[in-house]
Every structure is written in C-alpha cells, then in structure tokens.
Amino acid sequence: MAKKNNGKQPKNEKGNKLDVYSKVAERQKETKMVRKIVLSIISILVLLLIVFGIVGYQYVTTSLQPLDASSEKEIPLEVPSGSTSTDISRILEEKKVIKSASVFNFYIKLNNETDFQAGYYLFSPSMTLDEIIRSLQAGGSPVAFDGTKILVQEGLTIDQVAKSVENSTDYTAEEFLEAVKEPSLLEDLKEKYPDLLTSALESKETRYALEGYLFPATYDFSEDKSLETVIGNMIEKTDEVMQKYYEPIKESGLSVHEVMTLASLVEREGITYDDRTKIASVFFNRLEVEMPLQSDISVLYALNEHKEMVTYKDLEVESPYNLYANTGFGPGPFNSPSEEAIKATLNPAETNYLYFLADTKTGKVYFSRTYAEHQELIDQYITENE
C-alpha cells in the first residue's frame, strides 16, 4: 500500500545530520556567549570588591589616625551618664574629634576597652585613639568647661598646658609660659615643696624647670586667680600624689627628677600598666649598660613639634633632650606623667629586654632581648604594613 506524503518533504540522512550539527554549533555559540557574560560579570564584581576593599582599607587606616595631627584646637564635650560605647563614638564624631564613630567603636571593642566615665572633657583632633580612650577611662570634669575649669591631661607638655589655660581663661599661652619660668615663683615653690622640686631645679639645660610637675587633673579657676596661684595649685596636686612615693624613690637611689623623667617616657610609650612596667624595665636595662634610651618621645620634644613618624634626619637634632644622641636621663621630663606611669616606673618588671616596638594600629607592644629580634619584629609589624 502506498504511503501518504501529507505535503511534507522527506529529509535524507545527510540533511538530518546537518541540522543536528547546526543546532550543536548554535548551542556551543550560546554557551560561549553565556560564559563571556558570566566572566565579565565576575570580573566586574571582583574589580568592584578590590576597589571597595582598597577604599575601605584606606578609610579604616586614616580613621585609626588622629583627625588632624597638627591641630592645637581643644573641643569641649559632654559624655552623659549611662552613655554606651556607641553613644560616645557618635559624640566624638559629631564634635569632630575623630573621623569615624564606627571605626572607633570597633577599635575599643576589638581591644576590650571599657570603664569609660561620664563627665565633661576637652579633646583635640590631634589626639590618638589611645589617648582619647585613656582620658575617657580616667574620667572627665563633673562641671562644664565654662571658664571655671582648667584641664591638664596625661602626657601634656607645658606648651600644651599653656594652650589649655588659654582656652579656659582670659590668660594667653604666652603669659602662662612667662609665669611658669619666673625665677621668684620657682624659688618659692622649691621652698614650699622641697621633696618634689629640689632635684628639678638643680637640673641643667631644662626647657622648663616645672615640665612634668603640673599634675594631670581638672583645676578650679576663677577670674580673681593669678597665674602664679594656678601654677601653685598644679604643683600642690603633684606633691599630694607623690607623698607615698618619696620614700620608695629614696630607697631606689634615684632622684625625684629622674623618676619623673622616665615616667614621662613610660606615659607616652605604653598604654596598659603591664606594658608600662616592661617598658620601664627596658629603660633601666639600657641605663645599666650605658645604652641611649632611644625614645622617639625625646626627639619630638627636642624638635618641639608633634609628628606621627620620626625620620632618621630627626634623630640627628642637636639637643640635650635627644636621647638617641645622648646617654642618661637627659635634662628632665618631657610631659606630665600620670600616677600610673610613675607607679610603673618605680615597679619595673624583671626582664632582660633591651628593645620594644609598639604596633600603632593595634596598640600591642612587642619586646625583644637583641637587636636582631627587634629587627625581625620591625619587618613583621612595620615594614609589611607599609
């Protein structure tokens, strides 16, 4: 029986094969196109991730640094009672003390920093995150800075204290610096506080004889107070704090001036009490072998400027305060140390360390016995992060 054609043209074997090959080629072409599109999307996403990563890294890195390292501005602010770390971070950013509230909040949680105190504070955009944290832990003034309070923060130099006085009173910084050098005032204070100031006023080549002796605290001020009275109150506070340390200092064979000098370095070089006792031990170990103390704090004081990084050229500055170029204690303190720094200096850890290195990003301090070990730490924590 004959089959019906139904109007369709029959295909031969060759035609069927060509049709299959055509479809396969078309599918391969589509697959290649899809792959190209997917790879292009992935490449764009990877590129965006790299860009966002670089931008994010730069943002976080800059946020961990002082907002304005050269600023001498002091910003009053209040930390209300019951404020959380998030609240404090937000206040600091709003007042333009720090760059990023989120980075600051993450930093304090990463380092497990707690015990922040309510009160009124004077902060500067030039302060490091660690300096801000220490101030918040030390506590602020219970009264707003309305011209009746003067704040001396831990680690301030006399030049910086003068700025604080200028910002809080009608006196200028220049007037304060003139008063703090007045010979008759120095003699009166020495007579009143001989245990505290005798060795200080016997020291030679000091920039300010009272550097290191204006104790970190909040001081009452009124318009009828003279600068001599203000300075006298600061010295009185130092003597009050030092009463329990005079006998241990005498037993140590050191002078008060030597202790205050080392304490001023310990204040700025370390953050935690444990680190400070180890740093103190490094300085004592160096003194024992007649090795220069080699503190960047001394070089910055010699340069009389604030810098984030000390260069090799800076180390050549000619000054008795340059403790890279000179052995011993130097002329005297470099700032006003806290009681904790003084205590750490008088109770150094028992170590054989001669070197230490602070990671400015984490706040961790690494100690070593030899220069080779020290260089390895520099390569690991400084060079690799540059």
Q: Which residue has the tokens 């007045």?
A: 182
CA neighbor of 71 nearest in space, from 299, 302, 305 = 305
Angle between helices 227-242 and 194-202 (to 10 degrees): 110
Higher pLDDT, 9 or 91: 91
For 289, the token pair is 């072998």
Taking the C-alpha atoms of residue 114 and residue 363, their distance in angstroms, rounded to an integer, is 15
Query: Average pLDDT in the 239-265 region?
Result: 97
The mean pLDDT of 277-286, rounded to a whole number, is 97
151, 124 in Cβ contact below 8 A? no
Amino acid at 108: I
Would you tell me how many other CB atoms lie within 10 Å of the CB of residue 84?
A: 10
Residue 196, both tokens: 């505290």
**Residue pLDDT, tens place only, 181-240:** 999 999 999 999 999 999 999 999 999 999 999 999 888 888 788 999 999 999 999 999
Ordered structural domains, the chain, with CATH: 66-143 (3.30.1490.480), 261-385 (no CATH)
Mean pLDDT of 370-382: 87
Give the pLDDT confidence score for residue 146 in this predicted structure. Answer: 67
Q: Can you spell out the DSSP letters for 32-81?
A: HHHHHHHHHHHHHHHHHHHHHHHHHHHHHHHHTS-S-TT----EEEEE-T
Q: What pLDDT shows up at residue 1?
A: 47
Would the CA dihedral through 131, 133, 137, 143 be positive or negative?
A: positive
Residues 6+ apart with CB under 8 A from 241: 215, 339, 342
